[in-house]
Amino acid sequence: MFFAKVGGRLEIDFYATPKSITRFVKNAKGVDQTHVFTVCNGKNKAKCGFWLNTKTKKKVGPPTNYNKKKNLLIIPKVRALDAGTYRESPSENINVMIM
């Protein structure tokens, strides 16, 4: 479980560089949403480096980076709406609490 304060920096570490990271969050109205972050690999520049809402297919969320050298997902200024479950694969769930 990871904890962060609103406006603070959130770093989630992974064992290896994933192709994508999925997060399950709630929007301002409390509706469940699924967002996918695709890690850039040099061949997918147009479709990587941002959160994509799987239902609306629109870019959402705060600016986010992935550091491949340290295997860290980095959200420099986290928001309350970034709280939820993050995962690389169905067997690895990471809960994020925002205070």
Whole-angstrom distance, CA of residue 80 vs CA of residue 73: 17
C-beta separation of 52 from 64 below 8 A:
no
Largest CA distance in the chain: 37
Question: Tell me: the pLDDT tens digits for 38-87?
Answer: 999 989 988 999 999 999 999 998 999 999 999 999 999 999 999 999 99
Work out the pLDDT band at 90, boundaries 50, 70, 90. confident
Cβ atoms of 7 and 78 within 8 Å: the answer is yes
Average of per-residue pLDDT across 24-34: 95
State the Cα–Cα distance between residues 21 and 36, nearest whole angstrom: 6
Q: What structural domains and CATH numbers belong to the chain?
A: 2-98 (2.60.40)
pLDDT for 52 equals 97
